[in-house]
Chain A
Amino acid sequence: MTTLAICGGRLVDPAAGVDAAKDILLKDGRVAEIAGPGKLKNMEGAEVLDATGLVVAPGLIDIHVHLREPGQAYKETIATGTAAAAAGGFTSVAAMPNTTPVNDSPEITRWMQAPERGASVRVFPIAAATRGSKGETINDYAALKSAGAVAVTDDGRPILKDGMMRETLAAAARVGLTVIQHAEDTRMTQGASMNLGPVSFKLGLRGMPPEAESSMVERDIRLVAELRESHPHLHVAHTSTAAALAAVRQARRNGLRVTCEVAPHHFLLTEEHVGLYNTHAKMNPPLRSAADRDSMIEGILDGVVDAIATDHAPHAMHEKEIEFELAPNGITGLETALGLCLRWLHSEWKIPLGRVLSLLSAQPAALLGLKGRGTLAVGSFGDVVVFDRTAEWIYRATESKSKAKNTPFDGWEMLGKVRWTVSEGRVVHASA
């Protein structure tokens, strides 16, 4: 394995409390040495990346992506999805189990991590909470965990029954796994394709009430409180409503282990961005009201939001070029997350760079217990992103490394360009 030195850059490693000019040496996939500029001792034979004027940070971690394999390779493959991840500065992605078949077994969990998949970056499977994500039979969490699953969820098919959710939380707590809930009371969202409000009324589309999300989050928190003794960890996926975020905030004050993530589209866009039936603005949870969007920003500022996650959901072009109500939910997000976070969270809303990066690496790593990730302390994995934080550029979906082009951010101004992405000591993405 080659030795890689990244020299001349500004090392920003929030988990280690570092923000200083440092050179860093990666050896055998791990961080071997960190030293002041020009002070690395074991450089002989090392390939050198000149990071002068650039930020060197722990590789980004996206805990909510859909890689579509097995079974839906026409939308995306693990190879193309992780290539997009690398292009976006991500070195770890947690892959949702709504594949075909559903990832509810150790076999599929292992298959997804096999070298034959050709992944550019580390893939952490999230296994299904129930058999086939049907919400009826609990899977074998111990077996899934030893096969590499980092959490369980029935993403997209929320666990509605109180008893089943309680059982899931208890069983996952026993083996130390996180339960991720896509919070949606689907009894309130039948036939709906966007947020319920004046915009959905005007467009003649059935709407999803915000309560469909918040009531489910409140129910889940109640169950976590009941199971307090066994310390379950509930993670709320793609939080989109003010009420759901308020419930998470309250649960934390009550000492419960409840975390949440927010997607860039939910802190940037509103239901107005649906425009005239733009299927690239159709996802679940949907784009909400301006007040909900503002709450997501507040939540990021005040710290209740634990992680930024993209919910990268690739679809084939023809699947999105149909009637809005019939089009599948989801947008891609891996290549736009950093550029949008720096452009808006950092530059516009003045969140310090270290905190923005923490939301994209250290915090998600801690949330899912990804050891040796999300930091560049000596001994950790050599997962690095090197980017020019002042570079402004325009995102072009046609140039995406993903198989899919379904993004509402095509043509948007981005801030911060990834120069190199290094996964476990190997350069997996480089751009001029």
Chain B
Amino acid sequence: MKPAIVTTRRQRSTPPAPVSSFPYHPGSLLSVLDLTVDGVSQLLIRATELENEDPIGRDHILAKRRIALLFYESSTRTRTSFELACKALGADTTLVSSLSSSIEKGESVKDTGLTLRALGAEAIILRHNSSGAAWLLEESTRLPVINAGDGMHEHPTQALLDLRTILTHLRPGLVGVAPDTLAGVTVMITGDILHSRVARSNMQLLPRVGARVLLCGPKELLPEQAARSGPGIEIERDFDAALAQSQAVMMLRIQAERLAGLQLDLDEYKANYQLTGQRLAAHAPAAVVLHPGPIIRGMEITAGVADGVQSAILEQVTNGLAIRMAVMERALTAENGGRA
């Protein structure tokens, strides 16, 4: 590193923050920050094109290309979505899950990745319980790595599919995005922000297309520093007040055992933060409701709202397939991948 000089508050030069060499591969998608706004736009446009394309023609795009799904955590929803997206483009997929032997025996992420590469994998989709694992895998293998969720950190394809869902409802007819596309729109995210990779990816992505992100939840699940982790992020602890400002309402799953660990009362949490039909009608009667799943009905959201007219929860699942087709096509074909 060249010590180019950075000036601090006290006019004293100190070593500059490091420059990242990630992603090593232009097809990788480790973080939403890997993408420029234009790169996001291209993915959204391709998702729509691929969705509309004849399945027979689509089948040739990645015909016989080899993609490995490396899942250290079980996740039926995300794994199935990626698998179907790969297969829709004609690719061959292999699943290596936490139940399989090499992971069980404690082989390192690096060695598992190198083994998959030696077996001919051309890209790896990784779900891992440790934040940053996707970076480790990419650095070790130099293959296109798609982050399908790393610890509490990021889940970039989820944020992209959430963006597509929000666009469908709030900017109908628009396919691509620009830095001001969601100007004037407030997206609230409620619940266990601290442990949520979905929240982190959305918090980093949505402000870059003009949205204001409003975080809501108790201190234990939403520390103050969340608002300082990027631009366009604010905190509103009062759920009703946050609802009243929002055009999109994203609810996150609450795990009861996590509340217990934080000495939070379940009934109190529900009284303060559960999204009910009554609340929605009173404060956000036109907002679109999102939830990354899995839903715990009667916990963070009532069944009535989950199944109600404002809910876009199943659309999110469908959008996931389209987004992941575009992401996998980019992984294996893109020249520069719309890199940031």
Contact = CB atoms under 8 A, between A and B. Distances in A.
Nearest to B227: A198
- Contact residue range for chain B? 35 or more
B225 interface: yes
B39 interface: no
B15 A269 contact: yes
Given A198-B228, A202-B200, A321-B108, A273 B18 contact: yes
Interface in B1-38: 1-3, 8-10, 12-15, 17-18, 20, 22, 30
A203 B132 contact: yes
Contacts of A200: 225
Interface in B199-255: 200, 204, 223, 225-226, 228-230
A276 B108 contact: no
B312 to A, nearest CB: 26
Contacts of A268: 14-15
Contact of B131 (A197, A199, A273, A324): A324
Interface residues of A, number: 37
A328 B199 CA distance: 28
B8 to A, nearest CB: 6
A269 B17 CA distance: 8
B83 interface: no
A269 B8 CA distance: 13
Contact of A324 (B132, B152, B230): B132
A198 B153 contact: no
A204 B197 contact: yes
Contacts of A229: none
Given A201-B225, A321-B140, A275 B20 contact: yes
Interface in A187-211: 196-205
B142 interface: no
Contact of A318 (B108, B130, B230): B108
B40 interface: no
A412 B22 contact: no
B140 A201 contact: no
Contacts of B17: 270, 272-273, 275
Contacts of A205: 131-132, 151-153
Given A197-B225, A273-B17, A323 B2 contact: no
A364 B223 CA distance: 41
Interface in A258-273: 268-270, 272-273
Among A202, A322, A324, A349, chain B packs the most CB atoms within 10 A around the CB of A202
A430 interface: no
A411 interface: yes
A2 interface: no
Nearest to A298: B10
A278 interface: yes
B148 to A, nearest CB: 14
B109 A276 contact: no
Among A204, A268, A325, A349, chain B packs the most CB atoms within 10 A around the CB of A204
B108 A293 contact: no
A203 B135 contact: no
B95 interface: no
Interface string B104-115: 000011100000
Interface string A303-345: 0000000000000001001111110000000000000000110
Among B131, B197, B228, chain A packs the most CB atoms within 10 A around the CB of B131
Contacts of B132: 203-205, 276-277, 323-325
Contacts of A293: 14
A203 B130 contact: no
Nearest to A268: B15
A322 B10 CA distance: 37
A297 interface: yes
Nearest to A350: B12
A318 B152 CA distance: 24
B150 interface: yes
Given A204-B150, A204-B151, A294-B10, A323 B20 contact: no
B140 A203 contact: no
Interface in A327-372: 343-344, 348-349
Contact of B110 (A270, A273, A321): A321
Nearest to B72: A323
A325 B129 CA distance: 10
Nearest to B131: A204
A275 B30 CA distance: 14
A304 B14 CA distance: 20
Contacts of B194: 201
B192 interface: no
Given A297-B12, A321-B108, A412-B3, A277 B131 contact: yes
B197 A201 contact: no
A212 interface: no
B1 A322 contact: no
A344 B153 CA distance: 34
B99 interface: no
B140 A276 contact: no
A227 interface: no
Given A322-B109, A322-B136, A203 B131 contact: yes
Contact of B12 (A272, A343, A349): A349
A294 B9 CA distance: 9
Contacts of B329: none
B136 A323 contact: yes
A290 interface: yes
Interface of A: 196-205, 268-270, 272-273, 275-278, 290, 293-294, 297, 318, 321-326, 343-344, 348-349, 411-413
29 contacts: A198-B225, A199-B229, A201-B229, A202-B229, A202-B230, A203-B131, A204-B197, A268-B15, A272-B17, A275-B20, A276-B22, A276-B135, A277-B131, A277-B132, A277-B136, A290-B14, A294-B14, A297-B14, A318-B108, A321-B136, A321-B140, A322-B110, A322-B136, A323-B130, A323-B136, A349-B12, A411-B1, A412-B1, A413-B2
Interface of B: 1-3, 8-10, 12-15, 17-18, 20, 22, 30, 108-110, 128, 130-133, 135-136, 140, 150-154, 194, 197, 200, 204, 223, 225-226, 228-230
Given A201-B225, A202-B200, A205-B131, 8 more contacts: A204-B200, A276-B132, A294-B8, A297-B14, A321-B136, A324-B136, A348-B12, A348-B13
